[in-house]
């Protein structure tokens, strides 16, 4: 491995240079060393400068190659700090006096409580006056806590799989300029004694207290990048701010203190409280009693502000850090022609250049090792060069050219003239990079009767017409993925009735083009670039029909032929709408269905059928389960083979009872509909016309009665005050009431001829598109 030129932003030379000689004891003791940023490296966070000289230089450092002696010497000579990557058998007691409470000596108390002297272990004096006491532990000693409330300012740093790092002796503290040195009064690093049993017993995590995920999933830089998406002024409430701090502390295993302080103090109201915030951070202990706050809380806050895609990707920090060192096995200098040809193939295999959105970018294809989801990440050519230029290639003239520069300038690099997302079967765009990656499984004839049973017997309540519609809708999606469905499938029902089971299966079938969202901001927010290559959008309990702001946007996503897409920091572009929307909810009012609704096909799951359905365990297995994959493959096979003719989902939308319920729930938005429905449901008009009689078989509203009707309407709804008598007449004329110049009584007065109650109800049902249970 060779070491690249400095790739971070640096200022003037540090007052002190790193000292390789001070590092030698750890090299001789066999510790694993990694490169950190330059002593003076900085990054900007919400307008404040954060020094990064104590942070790893590269992403993937947790499992990447370690530095050799010569590489460490070279780096330190150029002003870089060096880190110690802790192994599963390493424990460091990290003491920071800056976080002690006034008048307290937690280190003295800890030593007295355990009858030990920390100086009996190899010790590094930090550049800020703290101490790192190194100890050896058994690999099976984990899990251990990060800190204890009784000893503020003292952390116990370890990691069951390695992957935490300390600043090594010989490095320079980026803020104080002080040198990290081995304490000459402590025992040296010739041997590292075992941690005392009393200490291990004290810091061993109690059974049952482990979090759902281990702390330290993110680097401090990644936490900083996520915090940039949140406005600290929205966290003026102390409890909300404290909860977020706990989430950041857990997510970074306590390492992201500088980032959190910079973020908090970017709020002018707290600009001068850095010391207080640092002490509060140090007082946090992930294993204290009470409700456990983890990284998930931070990711949830990102979802709430419409930045859910960052929760999926976890971070977008320094673009250089997004490249794993996948070329490390190559020699530092590639001189053989055969090796260069192989190298070009390797780089081209998952990288390409493209002109898109007015910018020249490098695309990197990757598959998330945790989820298996394919994605393309975008970088500037300079970022790629900085990452790859750690190696060099020999030109025909015998010159050495940095690898990144060589590939970017190579005439046979993989290159496209633009980016397109076109899932049309058989589509060919040889000069464009097509983001479409096909369905997640290969179609194969087989048995998917379990899924068919769920759809027919549970979700469609045994109604064959509804079942046929849902299956045809699914077939339309896989046969014509580039055409929007224009109708959303909506499944209502209690929890555990299987509505999410089908939706998740469709999302899984769409592979990287399926999105599962739980908040309106995920699909109605400003930054919606992730929808540009989405085929199946699963809205899971993520919409309320009364949200007026989101209503129009949802309807547009369902029916518009084209949409505008905007990414953060990118220009707004227009593209085809290829969305197929499915929704699941247990709310009474889910979608804003109107009386002539054609955008929503609504189905209510059968609770009794769901309780008797025997196949939920198979259908809800993990995505990689073999039987589930066979079911999806068989389902895709039959859907692709189904003869749809010219059928489109907007035809024959089932007028189900569940859809009618949504229309009735939506009456509250229309003062006229709500008022007339209440009249019909009550079955009497006594309060309207001042009589005590039930609704007669038919009656006439003369001029005075019209005024009473109008007064009743205006009193019934806050939005009805401005409705005129003419508008009321127009409405009544549409629900079976006779209006107009020719409708007159014996006195030749213009009247409204109101039909019998039964006829009036039937007219209203005809408008709503279904039979209503009037409950009388």
pLDDT (tens digit per residue) in 40-72: 887 666 566 777 888 888 766 777 788 988 889
Residue 188 is predicted with a pLDDT of: 81
Between 99 and 179, the higher pLDDT residue = 179
CA distances in angstroms from 754 to 684, 693, 738, 772, 773, listed in the order given: 12, 15, 6, 20, 21
Residue 671 is predicted with a pLDDT of: 82
Cα–Cα distance, 402 to 394 (Å, whole number): 9
Contact 743, 750 (CB under 8 A): yes
- pLDDT above 90 for 446: yes
Residue 93 is predicted with a pLDDT of: 96
Cα–Cα distance, 188 to 26 (Å, whole number): 10
Indicate the pLDDT class of residue 211, thresholds 50, 70 and 90: very low
Buried b (16+ CB within 10 A) or exposed e, 9-20: ebeeebeeebbb
Mean pLDDT of 689-708: 73
Mean pLDDT of 73-99: 92
Contact 535, 423 (CB under 8 A): yes
Residue 100 is predicted with a pLDDT of: 85
Residue 182 is predicted with a pLDDT of: 93
Angle between helices 220-227 and 238-251 (to 10 degrees): 150
Residue 651 is predicted with a pLDDT of: 84
Q: Which of 217-221, 621-625, 722-726 has the highest mean pLDDT?
A: 722-726
Q: How many CA atoms lie within 13 A of 259 on its CB side?
A: 28
Exposed/middle/buried for 539, CB within 10 Å: 0-12, 13-18, 19+? buried
Cα–Cα distance, 317 to 310 (Å, whole number): 11
Question: How many C-beta atoms surround the C-beta of residue 643 within 10 A?
Answer: 7
- pLDDT above 70 for 596: no
* Range from 409-418, 705-714, 724-733 carrying the lowest mean pLDDT: 705-714
- pLDDT over 90 percentage in the chain: 29
DSSP letter for 357, please.
T
Nearest to 114 by CA among 202, 51, 231, 211: 202
Residue 334 is predicted with a pLDDT of: 58
Residue 8 is predicted with a pLDDT of: 39
640 CB-near residues (< 8 Å, 6+ apart): 443, 475, 478, 479
Give percent helix, percent strand, percent coil of the chain, each to the nearest 5: 35, 20, 45
Mean pLDDT of 198-209: 78
Q: How many CA atoms lie within 13 A of 636 on its CB side?
A: 22
Residue 11 is predicted with a pLDDT of: 39
Buried b (16+ CB within 10 A) or exposed e, 232-271: beebeeeeebebbbbbbbbbbbbbbbbbbbbbbbbbeebe
Phi, psi of 20 (to 5 degrees): -65, -35
Instruction: Extract the tokens encoding 578.
Output: 């290829």
Mean pLDDT of 492-498: 87
pTM over 0.75: no
Residue 111 is predicted with a pLDDT of: 96
Q: Which of 7-21, 304-318, 478-492 has the highest mean pLDDT?
A: 478-492
Instruction: Extract the tokens encoding 246.
Output: 């706990």
Between 624 and 289, the higher pLDDT residue = 624
Q: Which of 8-22, 297-311, 321-335 has the highest mean pLDDT?
A: 297-311
Residue 272 is predicted with a pLDDT of: 81
Cα–Cα distance, 330 to 323 (Å, whole number): 16
> Residues in the chain, how many?
776
Instruction: Extract the tokens encoding 376.
Output: 């393309």
Residue 194 is predicted with a pLDDT of: 95
- pLDDT above 70 for 163: no
DSSP letter for 588, please.
S
Query: Which pLDDT tens digit goes with each residue over 499-550?
Result: 889 999 999 999 989 988 877 666 665 666 778 889 999 988 755 555 666 6
Residue 210 is predicted with a pLDDT of: 41
Exposed/middle/buried for 481, CB within 10 Å: 0-12, 13-18, 19+? buried
Mean pLDDT of 64-83: 90
* Range from 125-129, 421-425, 468-472, 561-565 carrying the lowest mean pLDDT: 561-565
* Range from 192-201, 217-226, 485-494, 615-624 carrying the lowest mean pLDDT: 615-624
Between 642 and 13, the higher pLDDT residue = 642
Query: Which pLDDT tens digit goes with each residue over 626-684?
Result: 788 899 999 999 999 999 998 999 988 888 888 787 877 777 778 888 888 888 888 77
Residue 91 is predicted with a pLDDT of: 95
Residue 693 is predicted with a pLDDT of: 55
Mean pLDDT rounded to a whole number for the chain: 82
- pLDDT above 90 for 306: no
Span between the terminal Cα atoms of the chain, in Å? 84
- pLDDT above 60 for 701: yes
- pLDDT above 70 for 208: no
């Amino acid at each position: 491995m060779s070491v690249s030129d400095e790739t971070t932003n640096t200022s003037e030379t540090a007052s002190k240079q790193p000292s390789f000689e001070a590092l030698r004891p750890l090299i001789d003791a066999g510790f694993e060393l990694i490169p950190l940023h330059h002593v003076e490296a900085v990054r900007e966070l919400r307008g404040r400068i954060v020094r990064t000289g104590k942070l790893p230089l590269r992403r993937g450092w947790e499992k990447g190659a370690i530095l050799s002696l010569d590489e460490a010497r070279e780096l330190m000579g150029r002003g870089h700090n060096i880190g110690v990557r802790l192994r599963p058998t390493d424990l460091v007691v990290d003491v920071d006096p800056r976080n002690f409470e006034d008048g307290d000596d937690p280190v003295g108390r800890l030593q007295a409580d355990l009858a030990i002297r920390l100086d009996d272990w190899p010790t590094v004096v930090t550049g800020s006056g703290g101490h790192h006491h190194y100890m050896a532990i058994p690999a099976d000693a984990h899990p251990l806590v990060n800190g204890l409330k009784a000893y503020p300012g003292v952390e116990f740093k370890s990691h069951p799989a390695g992957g935490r790092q300390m600043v090594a002796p010989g490095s320079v503290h980026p803020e104080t300029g002080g040198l990290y040195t081995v304490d000459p009064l402590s025992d040296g690093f010739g041997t590292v004694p075992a941690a005392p049993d009393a200490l291990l017993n004290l810091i061993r995590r109690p059974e049952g207290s482990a979090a759902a995920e281990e702390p330290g999933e993110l680097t401090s830089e990644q936490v900083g990048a996520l915090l940039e998406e949140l406005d600290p002024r929205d966290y003026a409430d102390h409890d909300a701010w404290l909860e977020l701090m706990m989430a950041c502390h857990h997510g970074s295993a306590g390492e992201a203190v500088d980032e959190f302080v910079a973020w908090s103090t970017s709020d002018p109201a707290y600009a001068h409280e850095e010391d207080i915030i640092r002490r509060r951070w140090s007082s946090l202990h992930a294993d204290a009693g009470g409700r456990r706050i983890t990284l998930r809380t931070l990711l949830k806050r990102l979802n709430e502000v419409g930045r859910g895609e960052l929760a999926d990707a976890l971070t977008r920090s320094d673009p250089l850090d997004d490249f794993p060192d996948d070329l490390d096995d190559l020699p530092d200098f590639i001189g053989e022609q055969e090796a260069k040809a192989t190298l070009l193939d390797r780089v081209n295999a998952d990288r390409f250049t493209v002109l898109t959105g007015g910018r020249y970018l490098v695309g990197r294809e990757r598959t998330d090792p945790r989820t298996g989801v394919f994605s393309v990440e975008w970088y500037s050519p300079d970022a790629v060069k900085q990452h790859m230029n750690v190696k060099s290639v020999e030109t025909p003239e015998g010159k050495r050219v940095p690898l990144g520069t060589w590939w970017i300038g190579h005439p046979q690099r993989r290159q496209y003239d633009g980016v397109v997302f076109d899932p049309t079967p058989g589509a060919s765009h040889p000069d464009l990079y097509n983001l479409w990656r096909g369905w997640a499984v290969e179609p194969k004839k087989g048995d998917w009767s379990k899924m068919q049973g769920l759809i027919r017997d549970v979700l469609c309540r045994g109604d064959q017409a509804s079942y046929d519609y849902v299956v045809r809708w699914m077939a339309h999606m896989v046969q014509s993925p580039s055409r929007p469905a224009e109708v959303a499938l909506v499944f209502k029902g209690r929890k555990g009735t299987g509505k999410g089971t089908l939706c998740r299966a469709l999302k899984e079938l769409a592979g990287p083009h399926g999105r599962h969202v739980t908040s309106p901001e995920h699909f109605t927010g400003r930054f919606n670039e992730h929808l540009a290559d989405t085929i199946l959008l699963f809205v899971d309990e993520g919409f309320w029909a009364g949200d007026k702001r989101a209503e129009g946007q949802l309807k547009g996503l369902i029916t518009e032929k084209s949409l505008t897409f905007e990414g953060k920091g990118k220009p707004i572009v227009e593209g085809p709408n290829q969305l197929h929307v499915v929704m699941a909810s247990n709310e009474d009012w889910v979608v804003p269905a109107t009386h002539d609704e054609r955008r929503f096909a609504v189905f209510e799951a059968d609770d009794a059928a769901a309780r008797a359905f025997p196949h939920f365990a198979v259908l809800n297995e993990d995505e990689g389960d073999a039987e589930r994959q066979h079911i999806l493959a068989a389902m895709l096979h039959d859907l692709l083979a189904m003869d749809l003719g010219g059928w489109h989902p907007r035809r024959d939308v089932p007028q189900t009872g569940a859809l009618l319920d949504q229309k009735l729930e939506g009456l509250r938005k229309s003062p006229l509909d709500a008022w007339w429905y209440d009249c019909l449901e009550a079955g009497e008009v006594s309060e309207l016309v001042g009589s005590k009689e039930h609704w007669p078989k038919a009656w006439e509203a003369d001029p005075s009665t019209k005024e009473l009707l109008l007064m009743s309407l205006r009193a019934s709804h806050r939005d009805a005050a401005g409705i005129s008598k003419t508008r009321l007449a127009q409405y009544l004329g549409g629900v079976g009431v006779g209006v107009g110049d020719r409708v007159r009584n014996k006195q030749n007065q213009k009247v409204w001829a109101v039909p019998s109650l039964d006829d009036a109800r039937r007219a209203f049902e005809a408008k709503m598109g279904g039979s209503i249970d009037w409950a009388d």
